[in-house]
């Protein structure tokens, strides 16, 4: 059943009522414990979003791999800022040497050291000297996505920036 109200923008949001009969079917255990739910109303934002590349560090050279660590990829915070990747943001790492791809998060290292260190189990997917690409993604409204340009930095063999491209997307 659909509930439309004239006070809401129809093109952006829709309101739905889930009848108790459907709730009972899907939430039977919760309802049998004495919960009283008549109907549930929820709102869906129908404005579609696209998952877009927002920041990329290209041709980074791994400097270390530490298996005895809880996990993540340590990255120089100056390079994180240049690529518009936040500390602890989820990242996708692609290893050019062996084809491995892994998801982890960016952990800030010591500024200026240009260190890229795979930690924990991810350390088994790389070796010092391997060339990796690090990517972060953001959800963007379709209208903005049509003109979206990710922030990309390209590094040399010493992990110094040799080229900046794209971004910022304000």
With tokens 């800022």, the residue in question is 81
Would residue 84 be called left, alpha or beta, if left means φ above 0 and alpha means ψ between -120 and 50 degrees? left
- CA pair distance 147, 44, nearest whole angstrom: 25
Annotated active-site residue 72? The verdict is yes
Q: Which candidate in 69, 72, 94, 127 is catalytic? A: 72
- CA pair distance 103, 93, nearest whole angstrom: 6
Q: Which candidate in 16, 94, 105, 127 is catalytic? A: 105
- CA pair distance 89, 54, nearest whole angstrom: 11
Give how far Cα 30 sits from Cα of 24, 80, 97, Å: 9, 45, 51
CB atoms within 10 A of CB 83: 27
Catalytic residues, by residue number, are 72, 105
């Amino acid at each position: 059943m659909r509930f439309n109200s004239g006070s809401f923008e129809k093109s952006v949001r829709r309101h739905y009522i889930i009848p108790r009969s459907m709730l009972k079917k899907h939430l039977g255990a919760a309802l049998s414990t004495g919960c009283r739910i008549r109907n549930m109303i929820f709102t869906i934002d129908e404005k579609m979003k696209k998952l877009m590349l927002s920041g990329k560090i290209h041709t980074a050279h791994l400097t270390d791999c530490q298996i005895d660590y809880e996990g993540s990829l340590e990255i120089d915070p100056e390079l994180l800022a240049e690529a518009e990747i936040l500390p602890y943001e989820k990242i996708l790492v692609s290893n050019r040497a062996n084809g491995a791809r892994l998801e982890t998060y960016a952990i800030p290292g010591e500024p200026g050291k240009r260190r890229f260190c795979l930690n924990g189990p991810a350390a088994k997917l790389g070796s010092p000297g391997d060339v990796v690409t690090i990517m972060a993604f953001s959800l963007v409204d379709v209208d903005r996505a049509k003109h979206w340009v990710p922030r990309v930095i390209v590094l040399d063999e010493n992990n110094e920036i040799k080229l900046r491209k794209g971004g910022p997307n304000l």
